A = this chain, B = another copy of it.
Amino acid sequence: MSRRQFDRQHVVDTALAILDDGGPDALSVRAVATALDVRPNAIYTYVEDRAALDGAVAERVLAMADLSLLTGPPSQWRRRVERFALSVREVLLLHPGVVSLLMSAPLNGPVALSIGEGLLDAFADAGLSPRDGARASYAVMVHTLGSLALDVAETDGRAPLDPEEDRVAARAAAFAQAAASAMPRTAAAAPIMATWVGETQFRWGLARLLDGIVRP
C-alpha cells in the first residue's frame, strides 16, 4: 500500500463532479477532500490553493469545447466561428457552475490561448486585418461568455440545468406577474425578453455582431 490512489487529474475531476452536483456553493477544498476520503490539507499536495483548483476546473471544462470546429475552409470562416461559439455554450451549459469560475480569473491558460489563436485564424480568413481580427476575436469571447454568465446567473448552477424551455417559461411567468404599467415597452416585449436566456438569442446576438464586423 501507501501507493497513492489518485492524482491531480482525479482531484480536479472530483471538484467538477461536486460543482455539477451541488453548484458553486458546494465546491470547497474540504468537500473535495471528503469525497476522496482524505483530510482537507492533503489536497494541497495536488493543488497550490483554492484559486488554482478553480482555475484547473475551468480549464478542464473549457478544453471540452471542440476547438477543431474553428478550423476549416477560409470561405467558411463564419460558420466555423458560430459553430465553435455554440460548442462553448453547449459545454458550459452542461457544467454551469464553471461559468462563474471562468469569469472570475484571468483567461490566460493554454486552452484560452489556443481558442484565441483559432479565432484570430478564422477572422484572418474573413479578410480582416490583424488589428480588427484581434478586436473581433475578443468581441466574440465577450458575447459568448457574457451570454453564458447572464443565463447561468438565473439558475442554481447545478447540472443538469432545467431544459431551456422550462427556464424560458419561468421567466415568462415572472414577467407576467410583474405588472409593468410604468414600463410599456417591457410589458409589450416580455414574451421575447423571456427568451433572452435561450439559444435563439445567443445566435441572434452573435450573428448581428459578425454582421457588423464584416460589414463593408
Contact = CB atoms under 8 A, between A and B. Distances in A.
A143 interface: yes
Nearest to A147: B142
Interface residues of A, number: 54
B146 A142 contact: yes
Q: How many copies does the complex hold?
A: 2
A31 interface: no
A192 interface: yes
Interface string A78-94: 00000000000000000
B135 A192 contact: yes
Interface in A60-111: 100, 103-108
B174 A117 contact: no
Contacts of A208: 135-136, 139, 209, 212-213, 215
Given A131-B192, A192-B130, A211-B215, A150 B141 contact: yes
